[in-house]
Amino acid sequence: MPATFPTFAELLPPTKSAPHAGIRWTLTAAGKGLLSIEAPRKCAVYVVVEFQTAWAGRAFHFECLGGQSDKDSLKGGYDVFIGRPHETRCDCKGWAYGRGKPCRHIAAVRAIIENGWMDCPANLDADSGNTEPNELPETI
């Protein structure tokens, strides 16, 4: 029987262009998952893969599957870097033209990291319980 993975949902901080947006995240393997960024009039779906970076932070590649408003994203997706609060970057036009304000890709990755969803075990069916023998305290 194939493993099923839970899907997590979170509201994103409101922005001028998307005051009521949210995400759905499904971890599909270690460091990889399916992300849906949902707003009232559009829904963009991405495969997100974490990759190594030489900088102090975490890096992710977003591969677009559909629904995005930026047609340039079809040319290879986006790379997102999350470092300290003022050390974030995204290849999208929203970040480039937003004067350094976090775009929805940065907001989505922050929510995934802060909720610990990227760090869930890849094999959710694995027995990850305590392997130490239970020792009861001696009574007097």
Extents of the domains making up the chain: 7-114
pLDDT above 90 coverage of the chain, percent? 39
CA 111, CA 10: separation in Å to the nearest integer? 7
**pTM tops 0.85, yes or no:** no
- Say yes or no to pLDDT of 103 above 80: yes
Q: Would the pLDDT of 136 be above 90?
A: no
Q: Is 133 left (phi over 0), alpha (psi -120 to 50) or beta?
A: beta
Structure confidence at residue 140 (pLDDT): 46
